[in-house]
Amino acid sequence: MPTIKTVGNNGQISLGKEYAGRTVLVDEVEPGVWIIKVGQFIPDSERWLIDKKVQKDLDDAIEWAKNHPPAETSLDDLEKRLRDE
């Protein structure tokens, strides 16, 4: 149901106490027309995780880890492999 609100002198609109502290997406679809959606959003520092290639790489890595359980490593063998390279 549409509600009429008045924009205050500071440029703010109150959505009501039920939305206090919530994050909202404000999309201006054309000048003077906004769509406001309540939701949870991805921080800038984590946006790379939603890239399709990154998701596939992560899925592949998880699948590999499921099929290759952790095993004890011989540090002597590892050091020898490094010297032989």
Q: How far is Cα 18 from Cα 44, in angstroms, rounded to an integer?
A: 26
What pLDDT sits at residue 2?
86
Residue 85's pLDDT band, with cuts at 50, 70 and 90, is: confident
Q: How far is Cα 26 from Cα 37, in angstroms, rounded to an integer?
A: 7
What pLDDT sits at residue 43?
86
Give the tens place of pLDDT for each residue, 49-79.
999 999 999 999 999 999 999 999 899 999 9
Give the tens place of pLDDT for each residue, 16-29.
999 999 999 999 99
Instruction: Kindly give, in sequence order, each residue whose CB lies less than 8 Å from that of residue 9, ignoring residues fewer than 6 positions away.
Output: none
**Is this model's pTM higher than 0.75 or not?**
no
Which has the closest alpha carbon to 42: 54, 30, 51, 32? 51
Percentage of residues in the chain with pLDDT exceeding 70?
A: 100
